[in-house]
Structure 1
Amino acid sequence: MKGRCIQMDKNTLQMGYVILLILFFLALVFLTILYIRKRLAIRREATDQDRSKWADELIQEEQGESKGYWLNKDDMDEVDQTYRLRYYHYFDNIDECIHDLIVEMYDCGFVRTEDIFVSAYGEDALKPDSFIYMTDDDPDFEKAKAALPPVSEKNQKKIYDLWVSYVEELLDRVEIHTTQANQDIIKDALMVYGRKKIGILLRSPE
């Protein structure tokens, strides 16, 4: 009986050692996972800082080599700074900036060509086969463009007023980063563009 008790104590002790070893192993695994996660977090934070620093340096470099840049504020919701870089539109001369901003007006839908067409010729002129609905590769495109009737001075004023409202919409959505003198030139040129012939205003310059 006494020998059996001793044997049971040995078995219990061995079982205790096994349990302790298992617990130690699990604790070691848990601590290792925590350590790895911490190292990854530190590395990720360092990478993000490097990427942000690189983005800032790239922006400064681009700014130093250009006359300025413009951006559409709607594009700035992107959290990743490196991804947002594509939305900084740098320009080397004023004409380049003016052209790109006019294209942006059409691309963003600020310019409503149907309203321009109706202001020029009235509602009845807006037909399925009207010039406004023709594509650039239409064989009769140039002929139809040349055949557009002249716009009266009164209707030209209506078109210009419309155009000014389109420019104001654009300027409300974009930021132009350059000298104040350049900004004034750009804004004036955008307004003056609205005095061009209707055949030009009905198509994006791109």
Structure 2
Amino acid sequence: MIDVALGLIRDLLNEHFRNEFSISENKVVLSNIVKADGSVAQNVDAKVVFFLVSLDEEAALKNSMNRTIGQGNGSFAQKNPSLHLNMQLLFCANFDSAIYSEGLSYLSSLIRFFQINKRIALDQSSNSGSSKNRLSFELCKLDYAELSHLWSAIGSKLMPSVLYKVSMLVFDDAPIRKIIPAVKETQNQT
């Protein structure tokens, strides 16, 4: 589910950039900036690179131990509650000094895109409007100390970037634990 959501965001941004800048190449890549061994990742030069910084559970929706779903015949199925996750995504303009301002143009366009499209349907083929199928984007602010810690953890030098909180991915794949039959009134025959 995470890979599907991030792939959709990448594809929508690439389409947006192709339309706005009249380019044919993809400028947005889903990748780390730095490989695990500390070397620079491949194919990220002159690109807007984005990656998952963190995941956290939406605490406000964590209040039930289990839930029941009507089966239509009066019975109920019991299963564990859905898991609602928020993601923090970092978008970086990875452009060298010769084309630094080009990178800032792409970053500005990205911010405009999310300002216009604050909610994106995860399943682009359906327009059901269900909150389970929607991602919402909120710009996050980091102070200088947090920003320094983040870039140190990434293992890269500071570059123009923007951090978004993306709410909410819903994991609802828990199996049904038991079926609770319907209570039926019996006729007393006397």
| TM-score, with length taken from structure 1 | 0.27
* Larger of the two Rg values belongs to structure: 1
Q: Counting strand residues as a fraction of each chain, which structure ranks higher? A: 2
| TM-score, with length taken from structure 2 | 0.29
